[in-house]
Structure 1
Amino acid sequence: MSGIFDDFRREFDKSENALVKIILINTVIFLALLLAKVVLTLGESGNAYVWLVDLFRLPASPNEFIYKPWTIITYFFTHEEIFHILFNMLFLYWFGRLVDEYLGAKRMVALYILGGIAGGLIYMGIYNLLPHFQAEVGASRMLGASAAAFSVAVGASTLLPNYTFNLIFLGPIRIKYIAFFYIILSLAQSIGPNAGGNLAHLGGALLGYVFIKLLQSGTDLGRPVYAIMGGWSNLFRRRPTMRVTYREKQVHRSATLYSSAAPSASVEIPDQDEIDAILDKISKSGYESLTKEEKQKLFRASQQK
C-alpha cells in the first residue's frame, strides 16, 4: 500500500504532468467515495453517504448553491459510477495530450477548469430559466467531469481539426468529426432524464471553442487560472534555509525567496527558415513527427499572421 502512495506522490512532484494529476485527482476522489459507500452502507448509514456526496455535487437551486459555492469546482472532479469516470478520463486523456503538446500544460488545465465552470453555470441557468426544467430545480444536482472534458476535446479539435485518431473498426478519423459527433449526441439527449448534464456538456464545448479562437487572436482567457495556479504553487514551494553571516552581523535569505515563480519555458517566434523546415517535416512525416517545441513554435508563428 505504501508503494502506491509513493507512486502518487512522485507523480504530483513532477512539474510537467498536469494531465496525469487531473486524472489522479478524479481517480482518488472516486475511490474514496467508493470506499465510503461500502463502509457506510454496511454500517447502515446510507444517509451519511448521501450527505457526503452532496458536498461535492453541484445543485441546480441557487438557494442551495449559496451554502455550497465550492461545488462549482468539486463537481467536475467527482464521479460515482465506474463507466462514467472511465469514459471521461479516457476522453480527457486522448484530447488533453494534444493541448498539452501544442499549447502547454497550463492551458490544458485552464481549458479543463473553465470548461467545468462554464458547464456548471449553463446547468444552473437552464434549470432556473427554462420553464420545462423549473419544477425539478430543488431535486437536481450534477457531478462528473464531462463538461470539463468536452471543453478540452473541442479545444483540441478547434486547434487541430484535421488531426486523426485511429479508432478500432473505423480506422483514422479526424478529431473534428469525433467532437462534432459527441456534441450532436449530447444535444439529442438534452430532452432525456439527464437533460441538464447533457446541456452542461454543450456549455463546456462552447467554452473550449471560444478559448482557442480568442487565443489564436491574442487573448488568453486562462490568465486568471494561471495566476491562481502560480499563487497556489508559491504557497507550497519549499522555502530555502536562512543563512547567517556573522561577519556582517545580518541575516541573508536566498534571493530566490522573494522572486516570483519562474515562468514556464517559452517558445520564441521562429524565423521563416525554421517555419519552412517544420512544414517540410510535416509534409514528409506528418504532425506526429514534430517535437513538443516544434509544435509550439508552429502555433506561435500562426498567431503572428
Structure 2
Amino acid sequence: MSGIFDDFRREFTKTDNTLVRIILINTVVFLALLLVKVIFTLGQSSEAYVWLIDMLRLPASPREFVVKPWTIITYFFTHEEIFHILFNMLFLYWFGRLVDEYLGSKRLIALYVLGGIAGGIAYMGIYNLLPYFHSQVASSQMLGASAAAFSVAVGASTLLPNYTFNLIFLGPIRIKYIAFFYIVLSLAQSIGPNAGGNLAHLGGAFTGYMFIKLLQNGTDLGKPLYALMEFWSRLFKKRPPMKVTYRQKEVHRTSTFYSAAPSPTSVEMPDQDEIDAILDKISKSGYESLTREEKQKLFKASQQK
C-alpha cells in the first residue's frame, strides 16, 4: 500500500507534469469518497456520506450556493461514478496534452479552472433564468469535471483545429469535428435527465473558445489566476537555507504548483526562415514531431497575423 502512495507522490512532484496532477487530484478525491461511502454504509451512517457529498456538489439554488460558495470549485474535482470520471479524465488527457505542449502548464490550469467556474455559473444562471427549469432549482445539484474538460477540449480545438486523433473504427479525425460533435450532443441533451451537466458543458466550451481567441489577440484571461497561483505557491513554500559565500548569498527555490517551462510570451519572435523550417517539418513529419519550443514559436508567430 505504501508503494502506491509513493507512486502517487512521485508523479505529483514531477516537473512538467501539470496534466497528470489534475488527473491525480480527481482520482484521489474519487477513491477517497468511494472508501468513505463504504465505511459509512457499513456503519449504517449513509446520511453522513450524503451530507459530505452535498458539501462538494454545486447547487442550482442561489440561496444554497451562498451558504457553500466553495462548491463552485469543488464540484469539478468530484465524481461518484467510475465511468463518469473515466470519460472525463480520458477526454481531459487527450486534449490537455496538446494545450500543455503548445501553451504551457499555466494556461492548461487556467483553461481547466476557468472552464469549470464558467460551467458552474452557466448551470446556475440557466436554471434560475429559464422558466423550464424553475421547478427543479431547489432539488438540483451538480458534480463532475465535464465543464472543465470541455473547456480544455474546445481550447485545444480552437488552437489546433486540424490536428487529428486516430479513433478506433473511424481512423484519423480532426479534433475540431470531435469537439463540435460533443457540443451538439450536449445541446441536444440539455432538456434530458442530465440537463444541468450538459448546460455546464456549453459554458465550459464557450470559455475554452474565448480563452484561445483572446490569447491569440494578446489578452490572457488567466493572468489573475497565475498571480493567485504564484501567491499560493510562495505562501506554502518552505524557504531553503541560504548558501552564503564571502561575495553573495544564493537562494534556491523551486515551484511547487505548476511548471516553470517557458510560455509562448517568453519565446522570442521567430523570423520567416524559422517559420518556414517549422512548417516544412510539419509537412514531412506532422505536428507530433515538433519540439515544445518549436510549437510555442509557431503559436507566437500566429499571434502577429
1:51 is matched with 51
Give the equivalent residue in structure 1 for 2:205.
205
C-alpha separation in 2, matches of 1:161 and 1:242: 48
Moved more, 277-286 or 199-208: 277-286
CA change 1:96–1:114 in 2 (3 A) is same
Shift of 1:253: 6.7
The aligned counterpart of 1:183 is: 183
- What is the distance in 1 between the residues matched to 2:250 and 2:280? 47
AA in 1 matched with 2:152:
V
What code does the residue aligned with 1:224 have?
Answer: P
2:276 corresponds to 1:273: no
Deviations 1:8-48 (A, max 9, x none): 11122223111000000000000000001111011111100
- State the aligned residue count: 298
Change over 3 Å in CA distance of 1:277–1:243 after alignment to 2: closer
* One-letter amino acid of the structure 1 residue matched with residue 291 of structure 2: T
Q: Take 1:262 and 1:136, find their aligned partners in 2: how far apart are those partners?
A: 42
- TM-score by structure 2 length? 0.93
Structure 2 match to 1:218: 218
Contact 2:95–2:156 (8 Å) recurs in 1: yes
Percent sequence identity over matched residues?
Answer: 79
Show the counterpart of 1:19. 19
Pick closer, same or farther for the CA change 1:70–1:253 going to 2, 3 Å.
farther
CA RMSD of aligned residues (A): 1.9
- The aligned counterpart of 1:234 is 234
1:290–1:264 Cα change, 3 Å: closer
> 1:61 corresponds to which residue?
61
Amino acid at match of 2:128: N
- Structure 1: gaps (5+ residues): none
Which residue matches 2:71?
A: 71
Shifted more, 276-285 versus 83-92: the winner is 276-285
Bigger radius of gyration among the two: 1
| Partner Cα distance (1:263, 1:193) in 2 | 42
3-state SS of the aligned residue for 2:219? coil
Distance of 1:148 and 1:55 partners within structure 2:
19
1:242-271 per-residue CA deviation (whole Å, 9 max, x = no partner) reads 5789x9xxxx975568xxx99642321111
Which fold has the larger relative contact order, with Cα–Cα distance below 8 Å and residues 6 or more apart in sequence? Answer: 2
Decide whether the 8 Å contact of 1:147 with 1:201 is kept in 2: yes
Partner in structure 1 of residue 196 of structure 2? 196
Whether the 8 Å contact between 2:16 and 2:259 is mirrored in structure 1 is no
2:150, 2:205 within 8 Å by CA — same for their partners in 1?
A: yes
Give the match's secondary structure for 1:136: helix
Partner residue of 1:290?
Answer: 290
Runs of 4+ in 1 over 6 A off after TM superposition: none
Indicate the residue corresponding to 1:30 in structure 2.
30
Q: Secondary structure at the match of 1:172?
A: strand
On the 8 A contact 1:91/1:149 being kept in 2, the answer is yes
Counterpart position of 1:99: 99
Task: Report the TM-score, using the length of structure 1 for normalisation.
Answer: 0.93
Deviation at 1:126, TM superposition (A): 0.9
User: In 2, distance between residues paired with 1:63 and 1:202?
Assistant: 24
Partner of 2:123: 123
**CA offsets per residue over residues 121-151 of structure 1, 9 Å max, x none?**
0000011111111111111100000000000
Aligned to 1:161: 161
* 3-state DSSP of counterpart to 2:67: coil
Conservation of the 8 A alpha-carbon contact between 1:240 and 1:254: no
